[in-house]
Chain A
Amino acid sequence: GAVVSQHPSWVICKSGTSVKIECRSLDFQATTMFWYRQFPKQSLMLMATSNEGSKATYEQGVEKDKFLINHASLTLSTLTVTSAHPEDSSFYICSAREAGPSYEQYFGPGTRLTVT
């Protein structure tokens, strides 16, 4: 149980285009989803927290207009990188948490974004 999927697993796009990444909880309802970014040989940095039906809460330094997050249902959150630039190339990982006291997060397999 507690499986989280991401799509696509990798994507290459040209500078200036927008890319959408999906994060789905397959066997549970995710009241909260998180989006992380990981640069090579670095740890995960939280970008934003999203609750179903609410606006996402972004971490300091993360551009809201560039990284659009939508959490329209209890099983799906999307991250759209708008007007992508090469410096946005990174590994993006989502996680999901179901309602309850454990606060355990279940992680997706990640999406490798390369902007050329």
Chain B
Amino acid sequence: KQEVTQIPAALSVPEGENLVLNCSFTDSAIYNLQWFRQDPGKGLTSLLLIQSSQREQTSGRLNASLDKSSGRSTLYIAASQPGDSATYLCAVSGGGSEKLVFGKGTKLTVNP
């Protein structure tokens, strides 16, 4: 059974700092890995999707990497801003199923 773990559970940083969020998964047979952002009381906003054959994806100040063999992914946020404050969720699909398995998220607070 696939399990996804995100560390840390919460992170508070000053504005402008670069930061890394971590995601690990137990079954390396994945189709893809997605990073989402969720604001309080809101739905999910997809940030980056990495296919199993890819090593990384970039969008603006965000860069996500994937090391399938070790079951790890990182989300790098450059020059953080208060507007980046949200919960970041990592999810993987695979193992013969298209179902997404989510981690519990990292709650990020960027202080002005």
Contacts and interface: CB of A to CB of B under 8 A. Distances in A.
Interface of A: 6, 32, 34, 42-46, 49, 91, 93, 95, 97, 102-110, 112
**Main SS of chain B's interface residues?**
strand
B61 interface: no
Contacts of B32: 102-104
A43 B98 CA distance: 18
B31 A103 contact: yes
A46 B100 CA distance: 8
Contacts, number: 52
A91 B103 CA distance: 17
Interface residues of B, number: 23
Interface of B: 31-32, 34, 36, 41-46, 49, 51, 89, 91, 93, 98-105
